[in-house]
Amino acid sequence: MAFVDFLLFQQVTLLIAAVLISYTAVMAWWAMRRNDSAGVKSALKSAAIPIGALGLVATGLSMWLEEAWPLPGSYNILFTDVYMLFGLTLVILAVSMAFQLKLQYAGVFAFVAGLTALSYGWVGWHLGMTKEPFETFLLYAGFGAAGIFAAPATFVADYYLAHPDGSAFASGLSLATARRRPSIQVATRGAQPISPVAAETASTEVSLPAFRLPIYISVTVLIFVVFMALAGLAALLYFDTTLPAHLASAP
């Protein structure tokens, strides 16, 4: 089988993954704001199949590219080592979401993969590898930062899902207006009749937990979304610079 340059296709998968994961994180965060644990689970489970499909494609393609890449030097290492970690991260994340497992293990994996991506991008930039070394570094830095901030975001999601009763971030109590048991007003000749049901209702004091998503939780999730969106933007810019040359010199 002849080798075909899949670099542009890799960039497309990076772009799709960035958009899809950002959208999923925003939907889960919005459900958390409404204290809707079922909505969080639904958003995660619904995204498992497309994220898993991208992960399987990226993992399988990177394994083949590690062996088949014909370019001289270490470009197969630069481009496919990190891409394989990217694919594995997506697969682990998708399985965790589909089977409602703890997301934090996928987050820890993404954290280490993110550090690795930053290292590869930094070294590749200083070695002057590729025709666009700085753009390559931005791409690696974007996905690296997103992987790093995925860890706290998954810990937050796990903590919320572990408290489906709404007590995860309950702040204070919302007290209904308290009513005292009515006193028996004695009239001139006798007491007025009191309904037992009305007396029981009047003496009831209702206490409901007031749910408010803490600001630091929203910040944690949205920082991850921002870096993932920036990673997608870097992939789009890289895609724009690669597409003309790729189509002009197609194999």
Tokens representing 134 are: 């700085």
pLDDT digits (tens, 9 = 90+) for 171-211: 544 444 344 444 445 444 455 555 555 545 444 455 555 68
- Please check whether residues 195 and 89 belong to one and the same domain: no
222 close to 29: Cβ distance less than 8 angstroms: yes
- Please check whether residues 175 and 219 belong to one and the same domain: no
pLDDT the model gives residue 65:
84
Q: Three-state secondary structure along 86-102?
A: HHHHHHHHHHHHHCCCC
Which is more confident, 135 or 88? 88
The listed range with the strongest mean pLDDT (21-25, 161-165, 210-214) is 21-25
- Please check whether residues 180 and 155 belong to one and the same domain: no
- Please check whether residues 107 and 198 belong to one and the same domain: no
- Please check whether residues 220 and 163 belong to one and the same domain: yes
Query: Which spans in the chain are helix H?
Result: 7-33, 37-68, 75-98, 104-126, 133-161, 196-202, 215-248
Which is more confident, 94 or 181? 94
CA angle 57–62–66, rounded 5-degree value: 155
Residues forming beta bridges with residue 211, ordered by sequence position = 170
Tokens representing 68 are: 């088949």
What is the residue type of 8? L
What average pLDDT does range 44-63 have in this prediction? Answer: 96
| Residues constituting the chain | 251
Which residue range is the domain that position 14 belongs to?
Answer: 7-169+213-248
- Please check whether residues 156 and 54 belong to one and the same domain: yes
pLDDT the model gives residue 1:
42
In which residue are the tokens 């062996």 written? 67
- Please check whether residues 112 and 196 belong to one and the same domain: no
CA–CA dist 72, 94 (Å, integer): 35
Which is more confident, 58 or 238? 58
